[in-house]
Amino acid sequence: MSASPDKASLPPGLNNAFWFAGFNALSFPIVVGSPMVLYAKSLGASATVLGLIVGMMPLLVIFQIPAARHVARAGYKRFVYAGWGTRTLFIFGMALVPPAGKFLDKPTQLALLLALLFAFNLSRGISSAAWLPWISSMVPAEVRGWYLARDAFFVNFASFICVLVSAVALGGEPTWWHFSLMFVFSAVMGATSLVFLKRIPETQAPDEARASAEPVPWRAIAAFPPFRKLLAFNVAWAVAYGGTGAFTVAWLKAEAGLVEGRVLLVTSAAFVGGLSSLWILGARMDRLGSKPVITASLLLWLALAAGWIALAGRAVPANTALLLTLHFFMGLCGSMCGMANVRLAMAIMPAMGRSHFFALFSVVASLTLGLAPVLWGLLIDAIGSRRFDALGLEWNRYALFFAGVLAVSLATLALCRRLDEPKAASVEVLLRDVLLEPPQRLWLRFWPK
């Protein structure tokens, strides 16, 4: 059964990391999520530009590579705090773009917005090089699954609230001041998160890492067999997952005809799904391993891709219940796979050189995650209005996009089977453990400690 770890096994001050994650999640979904996509579309952004907006954050994680060698000397907390503080300033700048429409045309506003998003994501990309090494050195290995599940709960709960606030604020026909107000809210929440970030206890990098002036052996790091397999899996998963958030929003707006407020309400179900991952996983990953969680998530993702093909291909009508269900399970699947992936990375990376392992891990996965929506967007724009009927479906640009997602997901599942995790249980054991859990243990999981 799943249980919470003893408080004695947790580092003091860890709760500040959860509060930081929560307030941060009240901020970033506005800048990198559906509200920003909707604002960009109001400025006339094409699918390719939307893909660039969504992909910019993971693309700029590439700057973790040069930043990684400076993390140990600067200190984890100082490095993260500087970057998170800088990016918050750029959000305040974004709040000035909508009112600038009084004297700037829409293409100029869009260009200014893209410049601010580039600066925001650049500062995040550099400073994030220290986050996972910091957490890995602070949280004991035996409770990392519990930590990641609890962190995901805070992030998804706050993101759900954030999207609901956005839906209310933007309403049916939002004007420039509605979007400006949302960006101000994002900036204030980002600034509040810095208060809790400052309270997270600092940890020290290994002395060898802080003193070493040797060139980083990137080729040897990439060739480490368990790590190489994890990188290959992450590339495939990023292609399968990248772009789905932006282009489901685009489909809801362009094909289903939903207004902005309803789009945000529908997509908020994804965060409720992410919240459910705490109930499903809890501390189970620490007992059963990451690999069965990843496998179960991919099987679910295949079913979701098939559902979107049927919906986009007009085989089934779009209705609120179906849209909410699809988004709920998309959020559940993404949260479970993300947590298990990070936990597996923490488990296979040695303490010495951890910053460089995490930098390469983040850069490879994030570059693919950033390029994927751009390439998917180019494909969608290239197909345009062309369509044909086959297999009882209308194969339009969105149906073909989801068919591509399904094909890549199958390849991802094959790569998952090659991942190294010796003590991992099977998917059957995971499902049995989840489905046979007594209901009273579920309520105890959420009971105040």
Residue 254, pLDDT above cutoff 80? no
Q: Give mean pLDDT, residues 384-392.
A: 84
- pTM to 2 decimal places: 0.71
The tokens describing 127, both together, are 């400073």
The fold of the 15-211+223-446 domain, in CATH, is Growth Hormone; Chain: A; (1.20.1250)
H helices present in 171-290, as ranges = 176-199, 207-211, 218-223, 225-241, 244-254, 260-267, 269-281, 284-288
Contacts from 400-408 at CB under 8 Å and sequence distance 24+?
401/243, 401/247, 401/312, 401/376, 402/305, 402/308, 402/309, 402/312, 403/305, 403/309, 404/376, 404/379, 405/240, 405/244, 405/305, 405/308, 406/302, 406/305, 406/306, 406/309, 408/236, 408/239, 408/240
Domain ranges of the chain: 15-211+223-446
Per-residue burial over 27-52, b = 16 or more CB atoms within 10 Å of its CB, e = otherwise: bbbbbbbbbbbbbbbbbebebbbbbb
- Per-residue confidence (pLDDT) for residue 214, from 0 to 100: 55
Ramachandran area for residue 438 (φ above 0: left; ψ -120 to 50: alpha; else beta): beta
**40's tokens:** 């960009």
Give the closest residue to 337 by CA, choosing from 394, 416, 433: 416
Determine how many CB atoms are found less than 10 A away from the CB of residue 302. 18
% pLDDT > 90, the chain? 23
- H or E segment and range at residue 388: strand 388-390
Residue 408 has pLDDT above 90, yes or no: yes
* Cross-strand pairs, 390: 393
| Tokens (6 digits) for 95 | 């709040």
Q: How far apart are CA 80 and CA 197, in angstroms?
A: 9
- Mean pLDDT, rounded, for 394-419: 91
Query: Residue 445 class from Cβ within 10 Å (0-12 exposed, 13-18 middle, 19+ buried)?
Result: middle
pLDDT, mean over the chain: 82
- Tell me the pLDDT tens digit for each residue of 329-346: 998 888 888 888 888 887
Name the DSSP class of 434. Answer: H
Phi and psi (nearest 5°) for 394?
-95, 110
Distance of alpha carbon 19 from alpha carbon 177, whole angstroms? 29
Distances (CA, A) of 412 to 26, 251, 343, 356, 374: 31, 25, 18, 25, 20
Q: What per-residue confidence (pLDDT) applies to 117?
A: 94
Three-class DSSP category at 90: helix
How many C-beta atoms lie closer than 10 Å to residue 106's C-beta? 12
Nearest to 40 by CA among 60, 56, 63, 23: 56
pLDDT at 89 over 90: yes
CA atoms of 252 and 312, how far apart (whole Å): 10
Which residues, listed in sequence order, are joined to residue 394 by a DSSP beta bridge?
Answer: 389
* Average pLDDT of span 200-226: 68
In order, the DSSP letters of 51-87 are: HHHHHHHHHGGGGHHHHHHHHHHH-HHHHHHHHHHHH
Residue 400 CB: number of other CB atoms within 10 A? 19
- pLDDT higher than 60, residue 29: yes
CA 425 remoteness from chain centre:
26
Question: Cβ distance 286 to 345 under 8 Å?
Answer: no
pLDDT of residue 282: 63
From CA 65, how far away is CA 174, in angstroms rounded?
Answer: 40
* Residues 421/287, Cβ–Cβ less than 8 Å: no
Per-residue pLDDT, 108: 94
The confidence score (pLDDT) of residue 442 equals: 47
Mean pLDDT of all residues in 169-174: 75
Q: Are 57 and 193 in contact (CB under 8 A)?
A: no
